[in-house]
Chain A
């Protein structure tokens, strides 16, 4: 029951906002829905982490510890972005653009809804439908500003994601065929396939996983299928960029992980590991190339997402207790730091009206709060202690050192390149003489929710609380680790 309400709240909110007439009402519904989703999500996650596996609507929905981790990320960062979005949209779109305001809030909750369906369903076909739904829900959000560049970004995003994910459907159908041919009973449920994995035809499963990794890898932003990502993430309004980079990429990864568990059980872990390490390393490489001397700070954050998704894939590929733990932990840490930075990039954009790094000068003097938080967030993102990404990256590469020393060495070298490139770009933005803008932060009060991100980044960086590690370990059991 609770599980169904988690899905119905954002769906109902979306419908109600679509017919709301006054802006205040839309904002109220929007904020209430985000808080209610967060509360319901927390209640569900608590139950699951206490050992329960929730199901609803027959065997259509099933939440285990891995799903619960995703529900936590989606509902928590969804709430943070939702609160900031109220202020951001007020600044971006005045009452003359009320229809676009309505479109934004409607699609915002539809977006949350599709992501929640994707991570709570047990049916791999429904998961596919929901992941394609995330593209359809966000494409107008990418084009919210309705400029030539946002139009181009949205069109590319729609076409490339739709084609990519069409390939994932071939993979899903092949896995379904491998299951149906052996187990007899027609079922495309993950739990049934996982149970029958030992019986599946290994050739079919291998071929299927190649389609899966290319298909869902497109949604996750793995290179070389990432080409839509920098455009879409930099053109979308800041709260949506925050969710697309911080949360939606993880949903793509989650879909890959679900299939990986079946593949590992069917053909052994080596096959998937090799693919993940190869693509992961290539993603970090591509990101490093574009992060050195990047001219646009939103694109810089977007390419950094490609890098971090690559690191997570490396962790999954390295495997073992520490590799997988590091990967799951890094999913959380990247989500926390990247959504934070994209929200702050919205503040910078409102202040300077340009996404070019060369147009942003003296951020620390012009907007001390935004600038200070941006710097701290950037430290977290590039993996400096005491912030949490340092811990998870350390764990991942420590795991790789034993099993895959060459890949680890290459990864660490690329990380150093990224480190230098991003720090140089941020340096240009923070210092110098600000142009004749009035001093002060845009939307200072609306930054308050980011305190939660920072608190978590610090807490996870300084101490790994044992209940949290226990929760991650439960998710690792789902992965078969």
Chain B
């Protein structure tokens, strides 16, 4: 595989990953949102396997496998279980409606290109062109967390943000060393499990998972 072909495929897949992040804003069913996240994890995993083949790195191959296992299978299951248990199928009204949210996504993408293009230009790797796309994914994940009231959607925003960071590191450096990547996956998994417990607690205590209700602690 030549560097040009790799660059084209990487650009395409990174674009698909960013598109999936934005799709999360449009989807209104929680199950659908979880599916979007799982799909994005599979896209990222294929990207890492692709780059692993190109750079003949066994470690990166392992990272791709772990990514599918943890973010493609285990975490979506945990989230689906949570959605089923609390018996909620629809997402609550976000603070901003779909149309303004999409405009903000566009603005965030422009910001990402503005910040990251100089960095990408200094990078000799063939994958570097897609770095701004990955950073846009980080910013939009962050925006989803701020904009959504439901705890489950906040968790999904967090996971999308994590995926964006994973993609950023993958494109910029072919992934940080194996031990670090594994530790990060483990942290994310534990964080999601803890968040799941909290979703149940919030549901029991406040009778909804609308985190807008969490407003007791004021000055």
Contact = CB atoms under 8 A, between A and B. Distances in A.
B122 A201 contact: yes
A133 B217 contact: no
B176 A125 contact: yes
B172 A126 contact: no
Most chain B beta-carbon neighbours within 10 Å: one of A170, A186, A231? A170
Contacts of B154: 159
A149 to B, nearest CB: 5
A152 interface: yes
Interface string A126-166: 10110011011001100100101101111110110011001
A136 B119 CA distance: 32
A251 interface: no
A230 B219 CA distance: 10
Contacts of A207: 115, 119
Secondary structure at chain A's binding surface: helix, strand, loop or mixed? helix
Contact of A159 (B122, B145, B176): B145
A128 B177 CA distance: 13
Nearest to B118: A203
B161 interface: yes
Given A158-B191, A188-B180, A153 B122 contact: no
Interface residues of A, number: 48
Contacts of B2: none
A113 to B, nearest CB: 14
A176 interface: yes
Nearest to A173: B169
A166 B123 contact: no
Contacts, number: 119
B194 interface: yes
B173 A176 contact: yes
Given A203-B119, A204-B119, A154 B124 contact: no
A162 B201 contact: no
A123 interface: yes
Contacts of B172: 173-174, 177
A382 to B, nearest CB: 20
Given A140-B194, A176-B176, A204-B119, A149 B184 contact: no
Given A169-B184, A290-B219, A139 B194 contact: yes
A126 B198 CA distance: 26
B187 A133 contact: yes
Contacts of A158: 191, 194-195, 198
B214 interface: yes
Nearest to A234: B217
Contacts of B211: 155
A158 B188 CA distance: 12
A181 interface: yes
B111 interface: no
A148 B124 CA distance: 52
A166 B47 CA distance: 21
A173 B195 contact: no
Nearest 4 A/B pairs, CB to CB: A125-B180, A129-B183, A173-B169, A152-B214
Given A151-B201, A158-B194, A159-B195, 10 more contacts: A123-B180, A125-B177, A126-B179, A148-B216, A155-B211, A162-B191, A173-B169, A176-B169, A177-B169, A203-B119
